[in-house]
Amino acid sequence: MKQNQIVPPQFDYILQAYLLSRSGKLIESISLFFDAITFAQQNKQEFLICFCNYNIGTLYGMLGNYFYAHKFLTKAEKSQQFCDSYITGLIKNNIGDIFRQIGNFSEALTYLYEAKTRLDQYGSRSSIALPLFNIAEIKAKQCRFTESQAILDSLFHHIQGEPRFLGFYYKIKAEIANGLEQIEEAEKCHLLSIEKMKASQHDYYYAEMILEYCQFLTSYDKYSALDRYIKQGLDIAKAIESDKLIDGFNDIILLRIKDIKEIEIREKHYQTLTSSLLNSRRELLKRESDYLQQLYRLNTAKLELSTVKSLSENLALINKIGQYINNSTDIQSILPKIQEDLSALFQTDTLALGFYNKEQDNITIHYMDDKQPVTHPYVTNCQNEATYMSYCIKSDSSFYFNHMNSEQKVVMLGESCDKRVTCKSVMFSPIKFNGEVQACFTVQAKESYQYQAFHFELFIQLINYISIALENQYNRQQLLHLSQTDHLTQLWNRNSLESHFNQLKRQFTQNYTGIMLDIDHYKEYNDTYGHIAGDEVLIKISQLIKKHFHCLKTRVYRYGGDEFFILIAEVNQDKMRSKIESLLSEIKHLLIPHENSHCSNVISASVGISYAIDPQGSLTLNSLIEQADKALYKAKGNGRNCYYERSQMEILTE
């Protein structure tokens, strides 16, 4: 400026980004580093690109997005030929720090010792503190307190004028003291770490020190101080938009609530937590959108996104896919349409959508292979076989690979996986709705290197739409289910019977069996034992009916009161007799006393069965129910506690 020269924009952006990151404005800082990369690419300034990737990765780590943190730091590491050894040492330190944060200490120490060697040789004495602090923290977490303290002692003389380093120093001293059960010393060190980090004017680390102190207070039930510090720390974490810190404070609030005995106070804290979680979610969605746009800008030249129009078209296509998933009731039938539309965005030799059943720990997978839809989904058991899909769901993480081989697959999934690799390029993402991972979506290509970062970002955007569409669909199905089921027995209700019968007619079903079951002298049972006992009988008998009639061609209804109706899309008299005899026997073996029954001293039932063969499609539901009801009347006339069948011939000769 003194020489009246213009500062190139990439340098201006880098300096502004650095200042923003120090003041805790992490999202804005990332945005400026991306802008700097755009200009640095135009001028082929590889060192600046590497330096920006290093900073972007570091900032993503602060935000708690370890996937992007590792991605950008690794990208910087691969460009280290353009950097001096000092910057390379910082990159290796921050990669080690990411591994430390996710608990992979062995990998972390490998990088941190490499960083120490480089910074010891090429950096200042204070710069070597970075990897040494990380190493000391790992030693403390491994309960190697003497080694950790020795590292801190070696550093203290060199960092006395650095408030930020002193904050780290006292944080680790607190962890050592806590591990040695020196509680007062631990608290004193926590407070010093907060004081020093506040003086450094680095909001992220200031909030992190407060979080560490809150975790300490929680473990010793020191609630009077805790409540004050939680609010202070959470406000800072929200201001800098760090999901990692926000989630940490929310976890503490949840633990705090569990220990509150007064209901009113606990309810107040629940409202605080709910509000905090909702705000976190809204902010997260906004940030995801911001990240996406910045990544698009970063890759504009390379990935042929030369105009806003092409980006708009891609997002419009993704929106369209989300809409017809939302409107569909049969996922398998729309897979070809999804594949056709997605082929405009990326190679899709295989496409699959899996739905996770947490109770049974299995995944029902709808898929297409080589553009040929598979007629029926298949089920894979997560206990028996490790798959990409089960890994994606269990780890709740999105990922993509461009050159997968058998060895890498085994390293990722373990020996229980199928070691064959048919698709070398894959993208996977879990799908959440109603707050839990409920499904997983994947697209795959047989050849290597089919997907770039741009494709993966579009894929993640697609997942957002699919999640919303499936959640809407799920909630609609739940409402529909509630409207069509009996709340007491959880069987289908009478209102749903006609629509199900009409579905069978549309499928050109010709064979029908209708079964009407009635509990013997149920009114007398209610009068004697009460309505609560009567409801319990209904529930137990409905469970037995479901147990005996549970195949795909069968539906069971609570027809009304103590009457049940079973609709079956087949005629097999021998099978029906066997099932009914077994059912009636098991009902009696419940041994529920019924002293006012005229046919048994325990609860029993009567059953009427009607068979119908309908090649002309003229059978009505009322007719089938009427014939089953007449058969039930005959069973009652025969003394109850039995069944009676009405065949097609008997019906025709009436």
Which string of DSSP letters, residue by residue, matches 85-145?
Answer: HHHHHHHHHHHHHHHHHTT-HHHHHHHHHHHHHHHHHHS-TTTTHHHHHHHHHHHHHTT-H
Stretch 169-184: mean pLDDT: 93
Q: Which of 156-160, 317-321, 408-412, 490-494 has the lowest mean pLDDT?
A: 317-321
Mean pLDDT of 169-195: 93
Average pLDDT value for residue range 511-516: 94
> Is residue 45 over pLDDT 60?
yes
Question: Which amino acid is present at 549?
Answer: F
Over residues 506-517, mean pLDDT: 90
Q: 195 — phi, psi (to 5°)?
A: -60, -45
DSSP code for 360: T
Mean per-residue pLDDT, 126-131: 85
Of the given ranges (292-301, 388-397, 442-451, 521-530), which has the lowest mean pLDDT?
292-301
SS3 of 316, please? helix
pLDDT band at 283 (very low <50, low <70, confident <90, very high): low
Distance CA 352, CA 365 (A): 7
Query: Does the pLDDT of residue 460 top 80, yes or no?
Result: yes
Residue 258: pLDDT band (50, 70, 90) is low
Is residue 137 within 8 Å of 148, Cβ to Cβ?
yes
Mean pLDDT value of segment 623-643: 94
Per-residue pLDDT band for 639 (boundaries 50, 70, 90) equals very high
Residues of the chain with pLDDT > 70, as a percent, come to: 85
| Average pLDDT of span 27-49 | 82
pLDDT at 304: 41
Most confident of 25-34, 386-395, 469-478: 386-395
- Band of residue 306 on the pLDDT scale cut at 50, 70, 90: very low
Looking at residue 295, what is its pLDDT? 46
Q: What is the pLDDT of residue 112?
A: 92
Cα distance between residue 241 and residue 280, in whole Å: 8
Q: What pairing do the DSSP bridges indicate for beta strands 554-560 and 563-568?
A: antiparallel
Across 163-172, 254-263, 573-582, least confident range = 254-263
pLDDT(29) > 80: yes
Per-residue pLDDT averaged across 307-326, rounded?
Answer: 64
> Does the structure show a pLDDT above 90 at 303?
no
Among 478, 386, 464, 475, residue whose Cα is nearest residue 431? 464
pLDDT at 302 over 50: no
Average pLDDT, rounded, for the chain: 82
Least confident window among 87-96, 124-133, 579-588: 124-133
Q: What is the pLDDT of residue 653?
A: 47
Give the mean pLDDT of 525-550. 92
Residue 465 has pLDDT above 50, yes or no: yes
**Does residue 651 register a pLDDT over 60?**
no
Other residues' Cβ atoms within 10 Å of the Cβ of residue 336: 14
Alpha carbon distances (Å) from 218 to 186, 189, 247, 447: 13, 16, 15, 52
User: Cβ–Cβ contacts within 10 Å for residue 636, how many?
Assistant: 17
- Please report the pLDDT score of residue 145 as a whole number: 93
Across 31-44, average pLDDT: 80
Closest to 516 measured CA to CA, from 486, 545, 547, 482: 545
Provide the token pair at 488: 């007491």
CB atoms within 10 A of CB 494: 15
| Beta carbons within 8 Å of 167's beta carbon, 6+ residues apart | 193, 194, 196, 197, 200, 205, 206, 209
Closest CA relative to residue 87, chosen from 68, 67, 73, 98: 73
Q: Is the pLDDT of residue 146 over 90?
A: yes
Going by C-alpha positions, the residue among 78, 32, 66, 26 that lies closest to residue 52 is: 32
- Mean pLDDT value across residues 293-322: 53
